[in-house]
Amino acid sequence: MNIVFLCGSLEPGRDGVGDYVRRLAVELLRQGHKASVISLNDKFIEEEFVGAQFSEGFELQVVRIPSSWAAPKRFKEAKVWIDVFDPEWLSLQFVIFSFHPKGLPIKLSSLLNKIGKGRRWHLMFHELWVGMNMESSKQMAIWGMVQKQIIKSLLSSLQPIVIQTQTQLYQAQLQKLGYQASHLPLFSNVPSAKNLIRAREEAQRELSWVIFGSIHPGAPAHQLASEALVYSKKHDLNITLTIVGRCGEEQEVWAKAWETKGMTAHVLGEQPFDEISKVLSKASLGITTTPMALVEKSGTVAAMQAHQLPVLCVSMNWQPRGIKNLQVPAGIWEYESGGLEEFLNSSKQIWVNNRVSDVSNQLIERLSTAV
């Protein structure tokens, strides 16, 4: 099968969806398929790049088109390369903010329709619109309504044969728009360092907890730290917190929450994947601040699970408007005030590791059976 993936940016280690697409495309190459990637609005380059990116021993053909170019020029150039690659499928890896700084790419539908005319479309929704939770402000809700109309226009214009997403929430939202989306789970963008999985020494008098990647505001960090301190004293052990990756300003909130309780916090900042893998391999618990309804779309959670970590969701209140009865994903536990000790003492034997080979097989099977 010959697939051209379309995404926003392709700067290694700087764009989560770009890293995801690169690993997926390389896995397809490994399996004997043809795959290439075009970044349509690359924020990390000033000039067009046509050449190869290397990943896991494979050479992937990519075209990176700078965001500084006007949209008509960017998409015209993309069509030139699409015609050269002549794919059976165009796969749009959709994040609405990838195509406009304010997430309002009004002309995206018509531009994509021109470059993919006569070709079969696959749409993978990594994100939808903002303001879909009940706690959002009126401004965010209005912003989201505009984005929803852009997505409806996109679906109507492209008429994709296959639509996929990784979260139950997004499946439900797309169904409300009148479209059926099948589930395609995330895999980890952080390859597991060999011989390091389960290297953690649980018998030591220390628990090593880790936060990896973006930290969302509003999470009860101080409440969790207080309960962690009580637990550590009761059981005579140390609980350290390691913060790794591009975590944003909130990392200081978490580090201070730990340090004011007399516990140790390590802020490592950005690290190469092999170093992140070592950190995750030595940890005993992963913490995510992504709300439970959105946790399935978190690449950092996928990385924690790939390293056999139970994941504790510690987030602000975030309830989707008009969507109920979402199932808690396997291997994820939701933090509740006063419930930390019960969680830590409970059996946590279930986690999910969706390998890139598994996900690529699911994708190919779905595309192969599409009519």
Q: Are residues 271 and 292 in the same domain?
A: yes
Angle at 19 between CA 13 and CA 20, to 5 degrees: 150
Site of tokens 């990838």: 98
DSSP secondary structure code for residue 177 in this structure = T
Q: Which residues of 255-294 are buried (b: 16+ CB within 10 A; e: fewer)?
A: bebbeebebebeebeebebeebbbbbbbbbbbbbbbbbbb
3-state secondary structure of 271: coil
Q: At 72, which amino acid appears? A: P
Per-residue tokens: 3: 């697939």
Q: Are residues 156 and 293 in the same domain?
A: no
Please classify residue 79 by burial: count the beta carbons closer than 10 Å to its beta carbon, then call 0-12 exposed, 13-18 middle and 19+ buried. Answer: middle
Report if residue 79 sits inside a domain: yes
Report if residue 296 sits inside a domain: yes
Q: Are residues 180 and 211 in the same domain?
A: no
Report if residue 93 sits inside a domain: yes
Which of 162, 182, 161, 157 minimizes the C-alpha distance to 106?
157
CA atoms within 13 A on the CB side of 56: 18
Q: Are residues 163 and 250 in the same domain?
A: no
- Residue 11 sits in a domain whose CATH number is 3.40.50.2000
Q: Are residues 181 and 44 in the same domain?
A: yes
Q: Are residues 244 and 360 in the same domain?
A: no
Q: Count how many domains the chain has.
A: 2
- Predicted confidence pLDDT, tens digits, the chain (371 residues): 999 999 999 999 889 999 999 999 999 999 999 999 999 999 999 999 999 999 888 999 999 999 999 999 999 999 999 999 999 999 999 999 999 999 999 999 999 999 999 999 999 999 999 999 999 999 999 999 999 999 999 999 999 999 999 999 999 999 999 999 999 999 988 877 654 444 444 445 789 999 998 999 999 999 999 999 999 999 999 999 999 999 999 999 999 999 999 999 999 999 998 899 999 999 999 999 999 999 999 999 999 999 999 999 999 999 999 998 899 888 899 999 999 999 999 877 666 778 999 999 999 999 999 86
Tell me, what's the pLDDT at 88?
A: 96
Q: Are residues 210 and 236 in the same domain?
A: yes
The domain in which residue 92 lies consists of 2-187+356-368
How many Cβ atoms from other residues are within 10 Å of residue 161's Cβ? 14
Q: What are phi and psi of 135, to 5 degrees?
A: -85, -5
Give the integer Cα–Cα distance in Å for 63 and 76: 13
Q: Are residues 231 and 174 in the same domain?
A: no
Tell me, what's the pLDDT at 204?
A: 59
3-state secondary structure of 129: coil
CA 32 → CA 35, 50, 273, 362, distances in Å?
A: 9, 22, 26, 15
Report if residue 199 sits inside a domain: no
Tell me, what's the pLDDT at 206?
A: 85
Site of tokens 């290439």: 36
Contact yes or no for 142/328 (Cβ under 8 A):
no
Report if residue 201 sits inside a domain: no
